[in-house]
Structure 1
Amino acid sequence: MPDTHPALARARAFCERYGLRRPILLAPMAGACPPALSVAVMRAGGLGACGALLMGPPAIRDWAAAVRAGSDGPFQINLWIPDPAPVRDAGREAEVAAFLGGFGPAVAPGAGDARPPDFSAQCDALIEAAPAVVSSVMGLYPPDVVARLKAKGIAWWANVSTVAEAMAAEAAGADAVAVQGAEAGGHRGCFEAGQAEAGMVGLVALVPAVADAVRIPVVATGGIADARAAAAALLLGASAVQVGTGFLRCPEAGLPPAWAAALGRARPEDTRVTRAFSGRAGRSLATAYVRAAASPEAPSPAPYPVQRGLTAAMREAAVRENDVERMQAWAGQAAGLARAVPAGTVVEEIAAGVEALLR
């Protein structure tokens, strides 16, 4: 990448630090990062990624092995920092279960008891897998985990959604911050779950503010699906861009066809931040279920991860039946720019377009 522009020079330095040819990174999307997608991005010179929230240690090891079998490029693995134990309300959960009965199979007794895999065991598996980058979302790794990462030469990137979070991440030893704008699809990465909706800041305002506040590199993510947005993010102070929804229509993503097709039709106003799938705020297509869950008559969602357990049967049935109206169809506001082309083509065309715009 020619470094005739300061923004390109900054991106080139970032690429050299992490062994990349292009400053285009796959976002670590839990449940939507099959090895084939990362391999395609890595072969094109970008960074692969895995959102490992729902993966136990064997699955983390298997994912890393599969990706390494397909490419020798770098990748990141991401983990959620655990939330405090949820405050349970049996009455509310019963109301949610009854509501969900109108959208899918009956909610099984005990469905709300489901829990994520053990975080400590996941951390051990991440460090054993030794990716180039381990990233965090929903908070910061404990100091002992940070020390273990640094001892093994693994970079730590912290996903942040405000300037204050970015400053806290730098103080805790993060090597970079992935700055998530309000446009991003999927879960909001806020440290305080209750502040997710109130603290939404757009990427254009957030990137320069964070770049001015910290000394570590900034990765921009949220609403980036083509060269125009990527070039803008670099001009605003980012060293690289992270793309999530922009890769979801690629064949390597293996998305349910109805979800992929709906992304291609979506306008920015066709997405909505909702807690109706997991109890945590996330940006989804405004499907029939999402709209119904936002109506005044609908019960308030249970907290995370109880709500995720309660909605599991509906979500699984929706995938089996290819019904996007009940599917957990995460989508960023730039979903309509996602294209059904190979992931390597997306990387190459965004990078080439950035060079042309900033040359």
Structure 2
Amino acid sequence: MSAWADTELKDRLGIRYPIVQAPMAGSSTPSLAIAVSEAGGLGSLGLAMHTQEALRKDCTTVSEATAAPYNANFFVHYEPVDDPERANNTRSLLAPYYRELGLGEVPDVVTPAPSFNETHLQAVLDLRPPVVSFHFGLPGDDAFKAIKAAGLFTLSSATNVAEARELEARGIDAVIAQGFEAGGHRGTFSEPYERGHVGTLALVPQIVDAVSIPVIAAGGIGDGRGIAAALALGASAVQLGTAFLTCPESAAHPIYRRELNEARDDQTRITHAFSGRPARGLENRYLREMTGHEGIYPDFPILNSLTGPLRKASAKQNNPDFLSLWSGQSAAMSRNLPASELIQLLVTETESVLERLATVR
């Protein structure tokens, strides 16, 4: 094995290569997590939107299929504030789209996915996934201490140095430095979220210098060149999400895959318009027309549940206009490979880059 893979974090996680597949709620599957973990990386399940039954089923499927470690990921968002005026204004904005897609009226009552709670905690303690990760901060002290006491390895995302320091102070085992280039929801938990507008190249070394725990680089990394660069910046591992979306094991809709394969380098935007929280995705009609109304959107995940029927109908009609096409800035680098082959290609590419750099004088 090459020296680049001999990192403390790799050994602590029990993986062959310091490559983490991002959880990607809605697109990750047990099959993807299993394939990545079996290939030597760390496969992940995005469980934030799962019911308890689905959560337990997916974790059990992975643990029964492989002895390799995997990561169970949860959102830790603030409970939404009930604001009827914002909800009604948003329903008015969404109504034409509902009619266009034949959905009738925008629903009055929604049941948004809950933040990490006692039920999630009990599932984690029962199932004991080897790695537990969080987005949007960490759960309360009692819950987090219970997870640590169970001997589970913990990760969480930081989008700036202050967040990384806060996570370390709380006792996180490793921090994910989520650069501005990353796809999907920004992991920012400090306000305003613009404080997390730091690119991966600048963010990683600053977090490495600021904390004493391992740092996982994320955001815009799509091949071995990006992995080698992250390691050079001091990262102990990397996390890739967009790169795995076009793997056959992912749950990405065929239209989603097509859009990724046709993406340009300048095609992603950050928007609140799908979920109520800032997230990076490929630009489409809905994103263009709805971005700019941030002041009236209800809190996450209320808006996410209101736009859910639009996304589902759009997928059924093979129409990309209303899909949340979450993607990082590396979308144009997507490869259509099985996850195990992608892991091996990433390893080969990284080794090639490091060998070439070793000859530079």
Q: Closer, same or farther in 2 for the Cα pair 1:111/1:287, shift >3 Å?
A: farther
Deviates more, 1:111-120 or 1:24-33: 111-120
Aligned position for 1:53? 48
Aligned mate of 1:191, from 152, 168, 189: 189
* Residue 2 in structure 1 maps to residue 8 in structure 2: no
- 2 CA distance for matches of 1:144 and 1:321? 45
Q: Secondary structure at the match of 1:32?
A: coil
Aligned position for 1:129? 127
Aligned position for 1:247? 244
Q: Closer, same or farther in 2 for the Cα pair 1:320/1:117, shift >3 Å?
A: farther
Aligned position for 1:69? 64
- 1 CA distance for matches of 2:270 and 2:69? 32
* Residue 357 in structure 1 maps to residue 353 in structure 2: yes
* Residue 138 in structure 1 maps to residue 133 in structure 2: no
Q: Does the CA contact (< 8 Å) of 1:96 and 1:299 recur in 2?
A: no
- 1 CA distance for matches of 2:156 and 2:292? 34
Q: CA deviation at 1:165?
A: 0.3
Q: Closer, same or farther in 2 for the Cα pair 1:207/1:103, shift >3 Å?
A: farther
Aligned position for 2:333? 337
Aligned position for 2:150? 152
Q: Aligned runs of 1:14-29 on 2, under 5 Å?
A: 14-29=9-24
Equivalenced residues, count: 352
Q: Closer, same or farther in 2 for the Cα pair 1:175/1:295, shift >3 Å?
A: closer
Q: CA deviation at 1:85?
A: 2.8
Q: Closer, same or farther in 2 for the Cα pair 1:52/1:270, shift >3 Å?
A: same
Q: Does the CA contact (< 8 Å) of 1:186 and 1:330 recur in 2?
A: yes
Aligned position for 2:31? 36
Q: Secondary structure at the match of 2:249?
A: helix
Q: For residues 128-175 of structure 1, give each alpha carbon's deviation from its aligned partner in whole angstroms, at most 9, with x where no partner exists.
A: 211111111101222112221222110111111110000000000000
Q: CA deviation at 1:315?
A: 0.7
* Residue 98 in structure 1 maps to residue 99 in structure 2: no
Q: Secondary structure at the match of 1:251?
A: coil
Q: Closer, same or farther in 2 for the Cα pair 1:203/1:151, shift >3 Å?
A: same
Q: Does the CA contact (< 8 Å) of 1:181 and 1:202 recur in 2?
A: yes
Aligned position for 1:108? 106
Aligned position for 2:317? 321
* Residue 226 in structure 1 maps to residue 233 in structure 2: no
Aligned position for 1:262? 259
Q: Secondary structure at the match of 2:196?
A: coil
Q: CA deviation at 1:299?
A: 8.2
Deviates more, 1:227-236 or 1:102-111: 102-111
* Residue 291 in structure 1 maps to residue 303 in structure 2: no
What is the one-letter code of the residue matched to 1:249?
Answer: T
What is the one-letter code of the residue matched to 1:175?
Answer: D
RMSD: 1.9
Aligned mate of 1:170, from 168, 185, 193: 168
Deviates more, 1:196-205 or 1:19-28: 196-205
What is the one-letter code of the residue matched to 1:177?
Answer: V
> How many percent of aligned residue pairs carry the same amino acid?
37
Aligned position for 1:348? 344
Q: Closer, same or farther in 2 for the Cα pair 1:237/1:107, shift >3 Å?
A: farther
Q: For residues 48-92 of structure 1, give each alpha carbon's deviation from its aligned partner in whole angstroms, at most 9, with x where no partner exists.
A: 101111113222211111112322110111111131432413342
Structure with bigger RCO (C-alpha 8 Å, 6+ apart): 1
TM-score by length of 1: 0.93
Q: Does the CA contact (< 8 Å) of 1:78 and 1:135 recur in 2?
A: yes
Runs of 5+ unmatched residues, structure 2: 356-361
Q: Secondary structure at the match of 1:252?
A: coil
Q: For residues 15-61 of structure 1, give each alpha carbon's deviation from its aligned partner in whole angstroms, at most 9, with x where no partner exists.
A: 11111011111101111111010111011100010111111322221
Runs of 5+ unmatched residues, structure 1: none
- 1 CA distance for matches of 2:115 and 2:177? 26
Deviates more, 1:310-319 or 1:112-121: 112-121
- 1 CA distance for matches of 2:229 and 2:95? 46
Q: CA deviation at 1:326?
A: 1.2
Q: CA deviation at 1:323?
A: 1.3
- 2 CA distance for matches of 1:35 and 1:326? 26
Q: Secondary structure at the match of 2:288?
A: helix
- 1 CA distance for matches of 2:325 and 2:71? 23
Q: Does the CA contact (< 8 Å) of 1:138 and 1:190 recur in 2?
A: yes
Deviates more, 1:161-170 or 1:198-207: 198-207
Q: Does the CA contact (< 8 Å) of 2:79 and 2:115 recur in 1?
A: no
- 2 CA distance for matches of 1:170 and 1:354? 29
- 2 CA distance for matches of 1:96 and 1:120? 35
What is the one-letter code of the residue matched to 2:163?
Answer: E
Q: Secondary structure at the match of 1:268?
A: coil
Q: Does the CA contact (< 8 Å) of 1:157 and 1:176 recur in 2?
A: yes
Q: Does the CA contact (< 8 Å) of 1:133 and 1:157 recur in 2?
A: yes
Q: CA deviation at 1:14?
A: 1.9
